[in-house]
């Protein structure tokens, strides 16, 4: 099992102007490739904060994925800041420059656009099929754009280089009993199956209160055992069950 | 200007099962009451992680808002853990118990439901008009439910006790020029108005590439000055402008 954290970089998320979509998307996609997302942070475009956060998280998790701040404008400081976090030079990457020259035309490669070819020394490029300017990977840190469509395309182009484990499987039982009624019995099942993570989430559907019980493990057989126990317990209480695979 | 951080607590967000809505909502609402959201974290239901995160952030920011983990089930560990973070007892709060007894009936107040009356000693309650079980505030930490409708109702009931400053105002100019074209000029304007935060965000609308330029300050007059400078600069370049107040 590999572990990861996500850093969403951008004042616009913290000010409420932009609703982040990248965290939820990455949570799902990382799980598919057997990488467990352990923590996410949303931080502003402040050099000191970015350096501190990247260095703290890259030492704690197998991979760190960042989104945001790699464009051509004054508030795009992620690439230069990551170079400082790794204590390497921030240089014009020849391969990235060639991609941009091909995309914009050499004559249109102004200072702002050239900024997008400046990367930490030693970074390897992540292709951007949407708008050319590449993302990059350095050490265990994957640096991607903030625009969701571009971030997703970059992730598709890097994910084969991310060494994950077995994906965590899950099965959800949605039952029309409230958490307060089932908590004691579910706690007993959880205690008997400590390796299977049982999450309990209240919901309201068509005006009826209920609870979704999500069993998670890398082995389907263990999930099946827990689901059978939960079903049997709920039946005893006379609860109605909806299964969501 | 007061500062805040938000901690979203819950494995279900990190696994991708549930898409968090609380961060984006709080970002907007905090700004309205003059509290600047400086950082947000999404962390799992792990005692050690919650304690470390709460203690780190409550010493850094004026307020910390948490969502998630205050229900009756085994995976709801936020309240007990916050007591540990503050090094105070985790006790049955008489006022909270009375609210729950009134809601469920004394005869239905089982162990799981009583758990929701257990809070850190010294916490003051936050009323929950949706499902009775209260949130609470201790020190500068506001502890709320994870279910968005309940979290929002709790926030409405606590926000008068949050001392904010002047709200940050903003004005957005959406222009049909790409970031690479305008970056240099916008950087100059930003350098001349260092107190006004200018954010630059690319967009695609009806197949046309453009940039949203967001000017933010607590004084409308300063925003007006910057917006005028940007309009004049964009006109010189022949760009088309859409104003979004």
* Residue-wise pLDDT tens digits, A189-202: 999 999 999 999 99
Q: Report residue B213: phi and psi, to 5°.
A: -110, 115
In the predicted model, is pLDDT for residue A182 greater than 60? Answer: yes
More confident residue, A54 or A242: A54
Q: Which of residues 83-102 of A touch B (CB under 8 A)?
A: none
* Residue-wise pLDDT tens digits, A213-229: 999 999 999 999 999 99
What average pLDDT does the segment A145-167 reach?
95
Cross-sheet strand order for the sheet of B132-138: A124-128, A132-138, A141-144, A63-67, A2-9, A35-43, B35-43, B2-9, B63-67, B141-144, B132-138, B124-128
Task: Collect all residues of chain A within an 8 Å Cβ-Cβ radius of residue B72.
Answer: 179-180, 183
Helix (H, G, I), strand (E, B) or coil at B149: helix
| pTM (predicted TM-score) | 0.95
Distances (CA, A) of B20 to A20, A22, A62, B44: 10, 11, 24, 13
Count of A-B CB contacts under 8 Å: 172
Q: What is the pLDDT of residue B244?
A: 62
Q: Which of residues 99-118 of A touch B (CB under 8 A)?
A: 104, 108, 110-113, 115
Q: Which of residues 134-163 of A touch B (CB under 8 A)?
A: 147
Q: What is the pLDDT of residue A29?
A: 97
Q: What is the pLDDT of residue A241?
A: 82
> Is the CB of B56 inside 8 Å of chain A's CB atoms?
no
Distances (CA, A) of B219 to A46, B38, B68, B170, B222: 22, 20, 35, 9, 6
In the predicted model, is pLDDT for residue A183 greater than 60? Answer: yes
Tokens of A88: 């390497």
Cβ(A103)–Cβ(A134) under 8 Å?
no
Cβ-defined contact of B39 to A38 (cutoff 8 Å): no
Task: Collect all residues of chain B within an 8 Å Cβ-Cβ radius of residue A75.
Answer: 198-200
ipTM surpasses cut 0.90? yes
pLDDT band for position A1 (50/70/90)? confident
Nearest to A31 among B15, B72, B183 (CB): B15
Minimal C-alpha gap between A200 and chain B (Å): 7
Q: What is the pLDDT of residue B130?
A: 92
Tokens of B138: 């201790």
In the predicted model, is pLDDT for residue A244 greater than 80? Answer: no
Task: Return all residues near A233 (Cβ < 8 A) that are at least 6 apart.
Answer: A182, A185, A186, A189
Q: What is the pLDDT of residue B233?
A: 95
User: How wide is the angle at C-alpha B212 spanned by C-alphas B210 and B218, nearest 5°?
Assistant: 170
Q: What is the pLDDT of residue A205?
A: 83
Please give the Cα distance from A190 to A197 (Å, whole number).
7
Neighbours of A149 (CB within 10 A): 12
Minimal C-alpha gap between A123 and chain B (Å): 23
Task: Collect all residues of chain B within an 8 Å Cβ-Cβ radius of residue A30.
Answer: 16
Task: Collect all residues of chain B within an 8 Å Cβ-Cβ radius of residue A71.
Answer: 179, 200, 202
Q: What is the pLDDT of residue A41?
A: 98
In the predicted model, is pLDDT for residue A245 greater than 60? Answer: no
pLDDT band for position A242 (50/70/90)? confident
* Residue-wise pLDDT tens digits, A85-115: 999 999 999 999 999 999 999 999 999 999 9
Task: Collect all residues of chain B within an 8 Å Cβ-Cβ radius of residue A113.
Answer: 180
Burial annotation B20-29 (CB, 10 A radius, 16+ → b, else e) = bbbbbbbbeb
Q: What is the pLDDT of residue B206?
A: 83
End-to-end CA distance of chain B: give it in Å, rounded: 23
DSSP letter (8 states) at residue A36? E
Task: Collect all residues of chain A within an 8 Å Cβ-Cβ radius of residue B20.
Answer: 23-24
Nearest to B214 among A17, A37, A49 (CB): A17
* Residue-wise pLDDT tens digits, A18-43: 999 999 999 999 999 999 999 999 99
Q: What is the pLDDT of residue B240?
A: 80
> Is the CB of B80 inside 8 Å of chain A's CB atoms?
no
Minimal C-alpha gap between B177 and chain A (Å): 13
Going residue by residue through chain B, which has 245 residues, state the pLDDT in tens, using 9 for 90 and above.
899 999 999 999 999 999 999 999 999 999 999 999 999 999 999 999 999 999 999 999 999 999 999 999 999 999 999 999 999 999 999 999 999 999 999 999 999 999 999 999 999 999 999 999 999 999 999 999 999 999 999 999 999 999 998 999 999 999 999 999 999 999 999 999 999 999 999 988 888 889 999 999 999 999 999 999 999 999 998 878 876 65
Task: Collect all residues of chain B within an 8 Å Cβ-Cβ radius of residue A180.
Answer: 72, 104, 108, 110, 112-113, 116
Cβ-defined contact of A214 to B190 (cutoff 8 Å): no
Cβ-defined contact of B180 to A20 (cutoff 8 Å): no
Q: What is the pLDDT of residue A127?
A: 97
């Amino acid at each position: 099992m590999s572990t990861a954290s996500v850093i969403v970089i951008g004042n616009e998320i913290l000010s409420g102007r932009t609703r982040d979509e990248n965290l939820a998307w990455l949570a799902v996609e990382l799980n598919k490739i057997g990488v467990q997302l352990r923590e996410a942070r949303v931080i502003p475009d402040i050099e000191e904060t970015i350096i501190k956060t990247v260095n703290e998280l890259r030492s704690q998790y197998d991979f760190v994925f960042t989104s945001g701040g790699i464009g051509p404008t004054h508030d795009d400081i992620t690439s230069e800041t990551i170079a400082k976090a790794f204590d390497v030079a921030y240089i014009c990457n020849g391969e990235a420059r060639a991609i941009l020259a091909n995309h914009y035309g050499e004559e249109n490669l102004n200072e702002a656009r050239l900024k997008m070819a400046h990367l930490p020394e030693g970074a390897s490029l992540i292709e951007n099929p949407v708008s050319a300017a590449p993302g990059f990977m350095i050490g265990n840190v994957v640096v991607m754009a903030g625009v969701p469509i571009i971030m997703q395309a970059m992730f598709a182009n890097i994910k084969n280089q991310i060494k994950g484990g077995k994906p965590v499987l899950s099965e959800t039982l949605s039952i029309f009993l409230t958490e307060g009624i089932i908590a004691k019995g579910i706690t007993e099942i959880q205690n008997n199956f400590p390796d299977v993570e049982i999450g309990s989430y209240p919901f309201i559907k068509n005006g009826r209160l209920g609870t979704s019980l999500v069993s998670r493990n890398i082995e389907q057989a263990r999930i099946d055992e827990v689901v059978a126990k939960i079903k049997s317990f709920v039946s005893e209480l006379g609860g109605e069950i909806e299964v969501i695979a």
